[in-house]
Amino acid sequence: MTRTILTFLLLFSLAFCANAQEAGKYVRPKSTPKSTPKSTPKSTPKSTPKSTPKSTPKSTPKSTPKSTPKSYQTCPDGNHPHMIDLGLPSGTKWACCNVGASKPEDDGGYYAWGETTTKSDYTWETYKYCDGTAKTCRNIGKSICGTQYDVAHVKWGGSWRMPSFDQIKELKVKCKSEWTTVNGVSGRRFTGPNGRSIFLPASGYRGGDRLNDRGEYGNYWSGTQYTSDASGAYLLYFDSDKADWYYYGRRDGRLVRPVAE
């Protein structure tokens, strides 16, 4: 009897242990399969402490002369206007042709002083900056160079502008000029200190509804108002004998040869 009990007990405990093991197996917290995809400890690319040696202070080859806008000795091609360097003391460069012209010997447009469009009748009545008479001329500036009244600046832009009275005087004083013809068109060639030149056609001027003196006189506005009378402005004037400067009423239609500095 006792033996039977012992045997039973033994079996029981064995069974119990087995159960316990089973149970244990179950209970055992799943050895978390470390699903965490190892948040790779970023191979710290250490934001490079920018010890980069100072980008060598670019030894800019300062030898390159300011080539904008480019100036030329003579027209390099047929795409006028060009900026011609005559070697003038002021550094002023002159255009190879007139405002409104497509080549050096063309007349281009005739403009009343300060106006930026051509018209068919040039009188005080049609002049934009007066009330019908010379006495009522409005002051649009002692110099209109580079302003909204400067036809060279308005039509060509960039650094182009009407020449000042000083620049016209410089052209006359520092250049030699001679009466000549280009493709059958009469005018004067102005040759600068460096031997380069520009040709200005003797295109006359427009007064009222007529074109006067064409082929005989050149009349080129400066952007400077005449000092003694606000109804006038200085201009470059020439014929077959000489070139000079003068002043005339702002109403007349005259040519404009732009400059750039």
Minimum distance between the CB of residue 145 and Zn ion, rounded to whole angstroms?
A: 21
Minimum distance between the CB of residue 97 and Zn ion, rounded to whole angstroms?
A: 6
Cβ neighbour number for residue 203 with a 10 Å cutoff: 27
Q: 231-240 contacts: CB < 8 A, separation 24 or more? A: 231/130, 231/134, 231/135, 231/137, 233/113, 234/165, 234/168, 235/168, 236/163, 236/168, 236/171, 236/172, 236/200, 238/177, 238/188, 238/200, 238/202, 239/179, 239/202, 240/179, 240/186, 240/216
Q: What angle do CA 143, 148, 151 make, to 5 degrees?
A: 85
Q: How far is CA 218 from the centre of its chain?
A: 31
Pick from 96, 162, 243, 256 the residue near Zn ion by CB under 5 A: 96
Minimum distance between the CB of residue 84 and Zn ion, rounded to whole angstroms?
A: 7
Minimum distance between the CB of residue 103 and Zn ion, rounded to whole angstroms?
A: 7
- Which of these segments, 90-98, 122-130, 173-181, 232-240, binds Zn ion (CB under 5 A)? 90-98
- Which of these segments, 1-9, 21-29, 72-80, 126-134, binds Zn ion (CB under 5 A)? 72-80
Helix (H, G, I), strand (E, B) or coil at 152: helix
How many residues are present in the chain?
Answer: 261
Minimum distance between the CB of residue 192 and Zn ion, rounded to whole angstroms?
A: 15
Residue whose CB is less far from Zn ion, 197 or 225 = 197
Residue whose CB is less far from Zn ion, 81 or 249 = 81
Residue whose CB is less far from Zn ion, 114 or 187 = 187
**Residue 75 binds to Zn ion (criterion: CB under 5 A):** yes
Pick from 80, 119, 128, 155 the residue near Zn ion by CB under 5 A: 80
The residue ranges that bind Zn ion (CB under 5 A) are 75, 80, 82, 96
